[in-house]
A and B are shown apart, each in its own frame.
Chain A
């Protein structure tokens, strides 16, 4: 073996992607890293385009950049102009910026419009082995394809637009292996929440996490995207799943994916993107899928999570005063007491977001909603992740099942995940949400968010309270 082969023998998937993108090693421990895909949306880009203008700079690689409005857009009455003047201006500014700088753009009225992290994989723009960035922390979603994908701030958005590179120090590596098989009614979302509950919201800080093990390999691409999406909620810079036949089958035939011989050449390369036997990780966590139940959060941090049949912990039993005070505050904000979470009355259910708005998620919600009714007094929204997800769901008749049951069927966007458009909670409302963050006020000032899977959310909608989705089989 050559020295290069010896070195390669112990490489992680992350090592391989990283080293394939180092343009130059810089003086400190940082590298100038080449970026293959830059996804752009209306909220974190206006200041970056302005910076280019002020300095007379161009977009270096428009052909590696894709822009779409998603965060701010209304999910109803799309035939009319956006009502909110600030949102309208922000979307109009994106339209102007992509025109001025020649950036490929999917407009609001295009059937391909949707949440940036849903459409990247859907269009075949996100591919294995790539470096993918976006001014949004949930860029980690694209790691499901075996890409190194992470969120960046607006200054870095400007840096990538101008140079197609980023100055990055290499993160440490963690492998989370989930062995065995998930039980009935247990999904990738529950796995993600369970992992965050185990390692904590800061447990992944400074790491890139590779998810592995039988339960991860068995996930569909949608499930892998849900899992990688929530990597950031443990603080990890990115989450990865090594590409395999599930990945290649997903990519084949997508509009921007390689075609014909190019596809075969790509697959031959993508098959090398696995962590080698003997690869050393800085940290390793091994979990048993059989231990995972349908999960639900009770507090205002994603780590404040329990099995739906479990008990909300009692702060009085904690010794650390800072943690005790923090948990007491979370319970106060959520208007909950220590004890069972089952039965808590629900006002709103939100099924959507870059975490859970793909066709599989809509199917899971519809399976629960079929021949049932949303409980009196509950508002339930289903917001598909993209126009194509919406079309597919309608072709399968899922929209009818959901609307017949009393769910609202909306246009694609980020919607109530972060409440930048009209879809938000009012103070005190309790919501079971398939999104990714339960922070105070995240879905609207004073709103109370419980994170869960689409099946759990749909079951809460029909029961009008927090229930175990396994009872709705």
Chain B
């Protein structure tokens, strides 16, 4: 997995609460077999009109936000479906960090598996950061996962919290499955112990 250490880039404001994963990427784009190439479909309904033309008022269709690497939104970002296509689409577009007052659980989890950092900050701080974006291309924000701070354009540092295990995994770009496979003996011990205690547990079988 791609590690995340420090990122300095343009931050785009999306002052909307409950941005759901259908909004981030509608279901009709989920017929893909790969993790890549979904950036074109990011925010499809907000970004394009019925003819497929860009809606000029949408933030990611405006300079300098076309090149945004950070997105700032309001509460409950990523609610709805478990589709990992949502972080895939964000990452494919070039967004590596989403800042919001709160995130939906599954989306939050999915971000960490894809080198994308979700940062939870109080709503008033998010609103302040959105105001900063009015400085245009000068409104560059730094997100430093090592030091766990967001640095505003004026140099002010805002600390944020993130689970230590997830922080380490993201900083090092760890392959979580390889890590878990080193615990194989423990998993086998769990399985055999339980099979002995609870022999009634059935297996999946389609023979009737």
* Chain B nearest CB, measured from A462 CB (Å): 29
Evaluate whether A202 and B105 lie within 8 angstroms (CB atoms) in the complex, with A419-B27, A437-B80, A439-B23 already known: no
In the complex, are the beta carbons of B76 and A26 less than 8 A apart?
no
- Please, which residues of chain A bring their CB within 8 A of the CB of B149? none
8 Å CB contact of A44 from B28, B34, B82, B206 = B82
8 Å CB contact of A420 from B17, B28, B208 = B28
In the complex, are the beta carbons of A323 and B17 less than 8 A apart?
yes
State which residues 131-184 of A face B: CB under 8 Å. Answer: 135-137, 139, 150-156, 158-159, 162-165, 167, 169, 171
> Given the complex of chains A and B, what is the CA–CA distance between A237 and B75 in angstroms?
17
In the complex, are the beta carbons of A441 and B105 less than 8 A apart?
no
> Given the complex of chains A and B, what is the CA–CA distance between A326 and B105 in angstroms?
22
In the complex, are the beta carbons of B106 and A137 less than 8 A apart?
yes
State which residues 428-464 of A face B: CB under 8 Å. Answer: 437, 439-442, 445-446
- Please, which residues of chain B bring their CB within 8 A of the CB of A262? 199-200, 202
A80 at the interface (CB under 8 A from B): no
> Given the complex of chains A and B, what is the CA–CA distance between A214 and B33 in angstroms?
46
- Please, which residues of chain A bring their CB within 8 A of the CB of B147? none
- Please, which residues of chain B bring their CB within 8 A of the CB of A44? 30, 82-84
State which residues 19-37 of B face A: CB under 8 Å. Answer: 20, 22-23, 26-28, 30-35
Question: Interface code A19-41, partner B: CB below 8 Å = 1, 0 otherwise?
Answer: 00001101111101010110000
In the complex, are the beta carbons of B200 and A265 less than 8 A apart?
yes
> Given the complex of chains A and B, what is the CA–CA distance between A77 and B202 in angstroms?
35
* Chain B nearest CB, measured from A365 CB (Å): 24
> Given the complex of chains A and B, what is the CA–CA distance between A44 and B86 in angstroms?
12
A93 at the interface (CB under 8 A from B): yes
B169's nearest neighbour on chain A, judged by CB, is: A167
> Given the complex of chains A and B, what is the CA–CA distance between A29 and B165 in angstroms?
8
> Given the complex of chains A and B, what is the CA–CA distance between A206 and B120 in angstroms?
14
B176 at the interface (CB under 8 A from A): yes
B204 at the interface (CB under 8 A from A): yes
Instruction: Spot the interface stretch: A59-67, A278-286, A404-412.
Output: A59-67
- The contact size tier of chain B is 35 or more
- Please, which residues of chain A bring their CB within 8 A of the CB of B16? 326
Evaluate whether A23 and B190 lie within 8 angstroms (CB atoms) in the complex, with A28-B165, A125-B204 already known: yes
* Chain A nearest CB, measured from B160 CB (Å): 16
> Given the complex of chains A and B, what is the CA–CA distance between A112 and B35 in angstroms?
31
- The contact size tier of chain A is 35 or more
* Chain B nearest CB, measured from A128 CB (Å): 12
B186 at the interface (CB under 8 A from A): yes
A86 at the interface (CB under 8 A from B): yes
- Please, which residues of chain A bring their CB within 8 A of the CB of B186? 23-24, 32
Q: What's the A-B contact tally at a CB cutoff of 8 Å?
A: 212
Residue among A90, A202, A263, A445 facing the most chain B CB atoms (10 A cut-off)? A202
Question: Interface code B130-146, partner A: CB below 8 Å = 1, 0 otherwise?
Answer: 00000000000000000
* Chain B nearest CB, measured from A99 CB (Å): 14
In the complex, are the beta carbons of B45 and A445 less than 8 A apart?
yes
In the complex, are the beta carbons of A136 and B82 less than 8 A apart?
yes
In the complex, are the beta carbons of B50 and A446 less than 8 A apart?
yes
A237's nearest neighbour on chain B, judged by CB, is: B105
Instruction: Spot the interface stretch: B59-67, B91-99, B108-116.
Output: B108-116
In the complex, are the beta carbons of B200 and A266 less than 8 A apart?
yes
8 Å CB contact of B204 from A89, A104, A158, A440 = A104
B159 at the interface (CB under 8 A from A): no
In the complex, are the beta carbons of A86 and B74 less than 8 A apart?
no
In the complex, are the beta carbons of A326 and B17 less than 8 A apart?
yes
- Please, which residues of chain A bring their CB within 8 A of the CB of B45? 440-441, 445
Q: Give 6 nearest A-B pairs by CB, closest first.
A: A28-B165, A155-B113, A262-B200, A153-B84, A86-B31, A153-B110
Q: Given A64-B203, A262-B202, output 18 extra A-B contacts at Cβ < 8 Å.
A: A28-B166, A55-B177, A60-B187, A65-B204, A66-B204, A150-B106, A151-B82, A153-B83, A162-B180, A165-B187, A235-B79, A266-B201, A322-B17, A326-B18, A420-B30, A437-B80, A440-B22, A445-B26
Can you list 7 contacts pairing A with B, beta carbon distance less than 8 Å?
Answer: A23-B183, A89-B33, A93-B33, A106-B206, A162-B180, A256-B205, A440-B22
Residues of A within 8 A of B (CB): 23-24, 26-30, 32, 34, 36-37, 43-44, 46-47, 50-51, 55, 57, 60, 62-66, 71-72, 84, 86-87, 89-90, 93, 104-106, 112, 124-125, 127, 135-137, 139, 150-156, 158-159, 162-165, 167, 169, 171, 201-202, 205-206, 232, 235, 237, 255-258, 261-263, 265-266, 269, 301, 322-323, 326, 418-420, 427, 437, 439-442, 445-446
